[in-house]
Structure 1
Amino acid sequence: MDDKMTPGAGHNVARVEDPKGPLAPKASFGSDVVAETLRDLDVPYIALNPGASYRGLHDSIVNYLGNTKPQMLLCLHEEHAVHIAQGWAKVTEKAMAAAVHSNVGLMHASMAIFNAWCDRMPVLIMGATGYLDAARRRPWIEWIHTSRDQASMIRNYVKWDDQPGSPTAAREAIVRARWIAETTPKGPVYVNLDVGLQEDPLAKDLPPMDVKRYGPPVVLGPSEDLVAQAKKLIEGAKKPVIFYGRGSRAQAAWDNRVALAERLGAPVITDLKSSAVFPTEHPLHAGCAHMQAEKHIAALVREADLILAFDAVDIGGFLLSCVEGGAPTGKIVNVSMDHRIHNGWSMDHQVLPPADLFVSADTDLTVAALVKALGSAKKEVWSKDVRPKRDLALRGANEQPLVRDLALALRKALGKREVSLLHTTIAWHESWWPIDHPLAYFGGAGGGGLAAGPGIAVGSALALRGSGRFPVAVLGDGDFLMGATVLWTAVHYRIPLLIVVSNNSSFYNDELHQERVAHTRTRPPENKWIGQKMIDPDIDLAQIAKGQGATGIGPVRTIAELEAALPGAIAAVEAGGVALIDVRVVPGYA
């Protein structure tokens, strides 16, 4: 990727909160050391909802660092802070910081932390607590905002945590935390600072620390023997299939994935839960893994004599949806390092998949090694039915949009712009929207938690500033409403973003579950909507957007109204604004 297209590189948000007066000339308190360490690590932003437990750190960022590197991003909920950092990581593959206030803020943020954990995204979470020395606590408030072993609330879904006891230990903890967060398998980390550490004056200056020497890159490529074994299986296969799961945003890694598929003539399966890893318009792209495998993909898997899986999320569950019992007759090569962070609390490790050869190594490095080992000769694809043809025409202008119509109309209106699709609903299908670049799509929430989409969209759009790419997110109405106030942060910091809400006025996924239960129990399925529909009163999503300074359009009820609304919303975003279109869609999934 050339520098122009490098996301997050020096493209700061609007300076709307510059401090006045002279800055502190040197580090004088423990929190100054913490802020200084974040600066030395090149952490660009710290998303936060303020709280007294980290008032010392807050002061240090403002009055010692001048609110720059990291620059504060004020959020209206702790979940938003962590989700913005998750969205940033999806684009940059780097950790930005998020601060959460004591135990109460951590509890607010816990769902977002779980999303980042399941998404394997690095986030540096700064926490705080009241004085560990009980004799120093203010009455009432500092007692209820102090917890013993505060990190125990989230320890099962962070990679590492610490509660350092001195400024020297805090500096080391933050450096270690960022290093661990950004080492594959990546994930969130938590550093908890008590008030005393932050607010007590330094007894003496700390010696300088070159932080770059304490976070060495961890490169875990495949061994020559494992590459040789994989090569032998590949050369003996006549009907190989590739499943690309998680992969980096690097253009070279993208090119290698394409090259490997072309060397093998292998149909490629990808996953909408993960970011863009392979061009969906390539003749070898068969489609994406969904909750239930589509017939043509299941047929490819059953017929394959070799399946190459590269850090595929839930490869075992995918195989179960394709093959009864989940064990295909073909050999399976599974390349992943995800097993290194599986634990006994969270079941995000999924079904245990079969594997005839397991390669515990970085997937990008393994693909590159296989491309090198196999040479340049390309094979013809062995299957004539890689993917079915689909009707991609919009329906009639006066029809109420399906989610499919929403996608097709939106992509048509965006034309030849280089677009990044930041988030989608679970109703999405890959055939509606071409993914043609490592920055074209950024996957799902990770842990399936609602309220994630809006914050992730804002964080991803922040990282894309200055990249030349147009940021757009398609969100469900339930997801949007749970995270709606993150729009204020995007507007306040001038982060351009288009959000299109696929609004069926319901928690529709649960309507389907109630329908299944009713059929199973021979009860009235027509009652499925009760406790699900968001009606009476109808919620004005456009007004929610306008109330936070964004452009709000809708409700849009026909395809013609949608096509008429899109140009104005796109223009508002290209002028540097935030726009939302409320599209009332027919309930249903792809």
Structure 2
Amino acid sequence: MTKHSAASVPRDVPIPSTPDTTVWCSDAIADMLRALEIPFVLLNPGASFRGLHDSIVNHLGNEKPQMILVLHEEHAVAIAHGYTKVVGKPLAAILHSNVGLMHGSMAIFDAWVDRVPVIILGATGPVDAAKRRPWIDWIHTAQDQAALVRPFIKWDNQPASIGAAQEALLRANQIATTAPQGPVYVCFDAALQESKLSEAPPMPNPLRYLAPPPAQPADAQVRRAAELLSNARRPVILAGRVNRDTLAWKQRIELAEMLNAEVLTDMKIGCAFPTAHPLHAAPSGHFLNPTSREVLRAADVVLSLDWLDLAGTLKQAWENEPVASQVIQVSVDHYNHNGWSMDHQGLPPVDVFLASEPEPAVELLLQHVKKRNTPAPLRAPLPAPAVIKPGPMTVPVLAGTLRRAVGNQKVCLMRLPLSWSGDLWDFEHPLDFLGYDGGGGIGSGPGMSIGSALALKGTDRLPISVIGDGDYLMGSNALWTAANAKIPMLLVVCNNRSFFNDELHQERMARQRSRPVENRWIGQRIANPEPDLAMMARSQGLTAFGPIEDCAEFERTVTEAIALVKGGATVVIDAIVQTGYSPSMTAGLTRSD
């Protein structure tokens, strides 16, 4: 985890209120948010929660929690999501009525699939029809508002009293932070917020309502798994969804070294194992590459540490043949599956199932496994980095230039684009790379990057995001929040002026149907005119450069940008890159089997 400070964001200080003994229901709700130690609430204002808004400002003084304003509800949830990926503790996002919830629903789905806790607060009503204003209160009131997002949240509630509201917030925090973690939703009746109380209600102690400690797997299953791993001919560890804790990071390394087990990682989730370690068997990616496929297929025992899409990964290695390896699965993800979304992926074959999070399972396995003296197979050396020379940029050249400009500084790569491959940058710490967004919700990159940079503010890490142009264009007005809240970070846009992912899909269709491949760009290219991405950032108060097409100019610019970020600026660079993905990414995106 990283240290963070709620004082790191400039606070709008309200004029003190005249002392008054009146107690409003929304004041009690605000008090509970403070008791839960939520440092920030992200919001785009709305009348449905005007009572709670007033209480945060005039009852709490806009402090603990402090408001951070966003220009779109989706960004409120995305920023909270990005923040929690760094610190492991949830923020709150407040969404106005049914319309705000619909705006924020894509980001909620991202947090759900990414298994990240976010406390989403909403409002409706007044539920009592006699108290509704004509027109607007009616269209912003729903009979069951949470039904809009219930398939991809862990829990929801619409409390009808202050006692119930306090309990709902305590339960929401408890459920969100219990593995498998995820978003929760609490909806407050507008009329309830604006009601008076005869006296301040008693405040429950939040420390008595925390999430339970991580579950531990059954002893017999741990011993069986340890026996398989200790006696394996060629064990492989799939290091999947794990936390950012440095002790757990060291224990995963220790387990791999005890077993001389090869390790594979995944670019869709945060880094789980040092990629320069001799046991890291192949560059990570969004799909298996030829080397990682060979490594997995040769394994006789596979240990999955909550690997994302275990069934699909095994299928990539064995295709239509039975999986020949003994498979040990460590996960509690099955507790989340509800059937609406297919984010649970395929059903994998499992020989030993440890129903726990990876961290306690690894700690227990270390107590039972025997050291294997058989060394892991030597891996082939990685290809030499792309030669950096003046001229048009590719993503590998951009990555090499950025890496050289960073030097020995500690970096957190908060987001990387689909065109990035795992051999472009080595990760040596759990905060070196935070992974993707979970649900593939294009437009999440700017908001999530801002949230992660907020959590990193005041640390010794340089926050950098490299995102695609489509992601930037869909989420670019999140950048105003970074400027307003003075959140330093560097955002590099890999701008190929195309929705290139779908160019590959259209190429596949054309080849399959014997039609002109040359037409794949139609309906995909972001051109005629080309949006001025740097100007979009400057118009919101950020420093921005570009478009930059020459790699020598990019190198000069990124060096200047890093200095500006270290001085507290939020900087955007529009870098024009040639289209292209790594071979494994291209094959994975377009395969239909």
Normalising by the smaller structure, the TM-score range is over 0.9
The equivalent of 1:240 in structure 2 is 235
1:225 aligns with 2:220: yes
Structure 1 residues 27 and 160: alpha-carbon distance in aligned structure 2, compared to 1, 3 A threshold: farther
The equivalent of 2:342 in structure 1 is 347
Q: 2:502 aligns with which of 501, 510, 524?
A: 510
The equivalent of 1:382 in structure 2 is 376
| Cα deviation, residue 27, structure 1 | 7.2
Structure 1 residues 326 and 195: alpha-carbon distance in aligned structure 2, compared to 1, 3 A threshold: farther
Q: Return the alpha-carbon distance in structure 1 between the equivalents of residues 339 and 508 of structure 2.
A: 31
The equivalent of 2:386 in structure 1 is 393
Structure 1 residues 469 and 378: alpha-carbon distance in aligned structure 2, compared to 1, 3 A threshold: farther
| Cα deviation, residue 292, structure 1 | 3.9
| Cα deviation, residue 43, structure 1 | 0.4
Is the 2:253–2:273 Cα contact (8 Å) retained in structure 1?
A: yes
Q: Return the alpha-carbon distance in structure 1 between the equivalents of residues 439 and 19 of structure 2.
A: 42
Q: Return the alpha-carbon distance in structure 1 between the equivalents of residues 335 and 97 of structure 2.
A: 30
1:424 aligns with 2:419: no
The equivalent of 2:246 in structure 1 is 251
Q: What TM-score results when the alignment is normalised by the length of structure 1?
A: 0.96
What pairs with 1:165-244 in structure 2 (closer than 5 Å)?
165-244=160-239
Q: 2:29 aligns with which of 28, 34, 39?
A: 34
- Report sequence identity in percent: 47
Write the deviation string for residues 415-453 of structure 1: whole angstroms up to 9, x where unpaired: 111000000111111111111111111110100011111
Q: Return the alpha-carbon distance in structure 2 between the equivalents of residues 93 and 118 of structure 1.
A: 16
Is the 1:45–1:72 Cα contact (8 Å) retained in structure 2?
A: yes
Structure 1 residues 15 and 305: alpha-carbon distance in aligned structure 2, compared to 1, 3 A threshold: same
The equivalent of 1:444 in structure 2 is 436
The equivalent of 2:588 in structure 1 is none
Write the deviation string for residues 40-77 of structure 1: whole angstroms up to 9, x where unpaired: 00001000111000000100000000111111110000
Structure 1 residues 288 and 151: alpha-carbon distance in aligned structure 2, compared to 1, 3 A threshold: farther
**For 2:450, what is the secondary structure of its paired residue?**
helix
Q: How many residues align?
A: 582
Structure 1 residues 346 and 361: alpha-carbon distance in aligned structure 2, compared to 1, 3 A threshold: same
Is the 1:417–1:469 Cα contact (8 Å) retained in structure 2?
A: yes
The equivalent of 2:131 in structure 1 is 136
| Cα deviation, residue 205, structure 1 | 2.4
**For 1:483, what is the secondary structure of its paired residue?**
helix
1:456 aligns with 2:451: no
The equivalent of 2:572 in structure 1 is 580
Is the 1:316–1:326 Cα contact (8 Å) retained in structure 2?
A: no
| Cα deviation, residue 326, structure 1 | 6.2
Structure 1 residues 390 and 496: alpha-carbon distance in aligned structure 2, compared to 1, 3 A threshold: same
| Cα deviation, residue 396, structure 1 | 2.1
| Cα deviation, residue 289, structure 1 | 5.1
| Cα deviation, residue 200, structure 1 | 0.6
Q: Return the alpha-carbon distance in structure 1 between the equivalents of residues 449 and 411 of structure 2.
A: 13
Q: Return the alpha-carbon distance in structure 1 between the equivalents of residues 127 and 496 of structure 2.
A: 49
Write the deviation string for residues 178-216 of structure 1: whole angstroms up to 9, x where unpaired: 110011100000000011110011133212311111124
| Cα deviation, residue 378, structure 1 | 5.9
Is the 2:22–2:196 Cα contact (8 Å) retained in structure 1?
A: no
Q: Return the alpha-carbon distance in structure 1 between the equivalents of residues 247 and 36 of structure 2.
A: 26
Letter in 1 for 2:389: G
* Runs of 5+ consecutive residues of structure 2 not aligned to the other structure: 583-593
Letter in 2 for 1:536: N
Q: Return the alpha-carbon distance in structure 2 between the equivalents of residues 98 and 26 of structure 1.
A: 29
Q: What TM-score results when the alignment is normalised by the length of structure 2?
A: 0.96
Structure 1 residues 100 and 554: alpha-carbon distance in aligned structure 2, compared to 1, 3 A threshold: same
Q: Return the alpha-carbon distance in structure 1 between the equivalents of residues 183 and 402 of structure 2.
A: 33
Q: 1:123 aligns with which of 110, 118, 124?
A: 118
1:97 aligns with 2:92: yes
Q: Return the alpha-carbon distance in structure 1 between the equivalents of residues 535 and 284 of structure 2.
A: 36
Letter in 1 for 2:384: D
The equivalent of 2:586 in structure 1 is none
Letter in 2 for 1:382: A
The equivalent of 2:291 in structure 1 is 296
The equivalent of 1:313 in structure 2 is 308
Structure 1 residues 389 and 37: alpha-carbon distance in aligned structure 2, compared to 1, 3 A threshold: same
The equivalent of 1:50 in structure 2 is 45
The equivalent of 2:536 in structure 1 is 544
Letter in 2 for 1:478: G
Q: 2:63 aligns with which of 68, 74, 77?
A: 68
| Cα deviation, residue 223, structure 1 | 2.0
| Cα deviation, residue 25, structure 1 | 6.1
Q: 1:473 aligns with which of 444, 465, 473?
A: 465
The equivalent of 1:482 in structure 2 is 474
**For 1:343, what is the secondary structure of its paired residue?**
coil
Q: Return the alpha-carbon distance in structure 2 between the equivalents of residues 27 and 209 of structure 1.
A: 21
| Cα deviation, residue 388, structure 1 | 4.3
Q: Return the alpha-carbon distance in structure 2 between the equivalents of residues 23 and 368 of structure 1.
A: 55
What pairs with 1:71-90 in structure 2 (closer than 5 Å)?
71-90=66-85
Structure 1 residues 559 and 276: alpha-carbon distance in aligned structure 2, compared to 1, 3 A threshold: same
| Cα deviation, residue 526, structure 1 | 1.0
**For 1:286, what is the secondary structure of its paired residue?**
coil
The equivalent of 1:530 in structure 2 is 522
**For 2:476, what is the secondary structure of its paired residue?**
coil
